[in-house]
Chains A and B, each alone.
Chain A
Amino acid sequence: TQLLEQSPQFLSIQEGENLTVYCNSSSVFSSLQWYRQEPGEGPVLLVTVVTGGEVKKLKRLTFQFGDARKDSSLHITAAQPGDTGLYLCAGGRNAGNMLTFGGGTRLMVKP
Chain B
Amino acid sequence: GAVVSQHPSRVICKSGTSVKIECRSLDFQATTMFWYRQFPKKSLMLMATSNEGSKATYEQGVEKDKFLINHASLTLSTLTVTSAHPEDSSFYICSARRGRSSYNEQFFGPGTRLTVL
Within 8 A of B (CB), among A58-111: 88, 90, 92-94, 97-99, 101-104, 106
Cα-based distance from A94 to B106 in the complex (angstroms): 14
A102–B103 CB distance below 8 A: no
**Min CB gap B105→A, angstroms:** 6
A48–B43 CB distance below 8 A: no
CB-based A-B contact count at 8 angstroms: 65
Interface residue range, chain A: 20 to 34
B108–A43 CB distance below 8 A: yes
Is B44 interfacial (CB 8 A cutoff)? yes
Is B67 interfacial (CB 8 A cutoff)? no
Cα-based distance from A48 to B107 in the complex (angstroms): 12
A104–B104 CB distance below 8 A: no
Q: Which residues of B contact A31 (CB under 8 A)?
A: 102-105
B44–A101 CB distance below 8 A: yes
Provide the main secondary structure of the chain B interface: strand
Task: Select from chain A the residue with minimum beta-carbon distance to B44.
Answer: A101
**Min CB gap B106→A, angstroms:** 6
Given the known inter-chain contacts A40-B113, A42-B93, please indicate yes or no for A98 contacting B46, CB distance below 8 A: yes
Cα-based distance from A92 to B78 in the complex (angstroms): 24
Task: Select from chain A the residue with minimum beta-carbon distance to B109.
Answer: A42
Cα-based distance from A30 to B109 in the complex (angstroms): 24
Task: Select from chain B the residue with minimum beta-carbon distance to A91.
Answer: B104
- Listed in ascending order, the chain B residues whose CB lies under 8 Å from chain A are 4, 6, 32, 34, 41-44, 46, 49, 91, 93, 95, 97, 102-111, 113
What 6 additional pairs, Cβ within 8 angstroms, besides A31-B103, A35-B108, A94-B102?
A30-B103, A41-B111, A42-B93, A88-B44, A98-B49, A104-B43
